[in-house]
């Protein structure tokens, strides 16, 4: 698949909130994650789709 098929639509970010804290998320393009600073979690983006499950999130250092 091409890069464009896996890229994240940044406009989607405006509609997404942290499932734990209900706060806004920040897009980390390098890590391909959506970061919730309030929750201390980073949600992965896989194949261009954000995985908004707390169990799948990475704890921030």
- Its domain, for residue 29, covers 3-59
Q: Please, which pLDDT band fits residue 6 given cuts at 50, 70 and 90?
A: low
Structural domain count, the chain: 1
Domain containing residue 22: CATH number: 2.20.25.10
* Predicted pLDDT of residue 1: 44
pLDDT digits (tens, 9 = 90+) for 7-59: 777 777 778 999 999 999 999 999 999 999 999 999 999 998 999 999 999 99
Note whether 36 and 54 are within 8 A (CB): no
Q: Which residues fall within 8 angstroms of residue 39, CB to CB, at 6 or more apart?
A: 18, 20, 21, 23, 57
pLDDT at residue 4 tops 60 = no
């Amino acid at each position: 698949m091409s890069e464009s098929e896996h890229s994240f639509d940044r406009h989607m970010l405006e509609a997404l909130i942290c499932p734990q804290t209900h706060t806004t998320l920040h897009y980390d393009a390098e890590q391909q994650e959506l970061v919730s600073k309030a929750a201390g979690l980073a949600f992965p983006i896989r194949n261009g789709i954000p995985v908004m499950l707390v169990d799948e999130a990475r704890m921030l250092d």
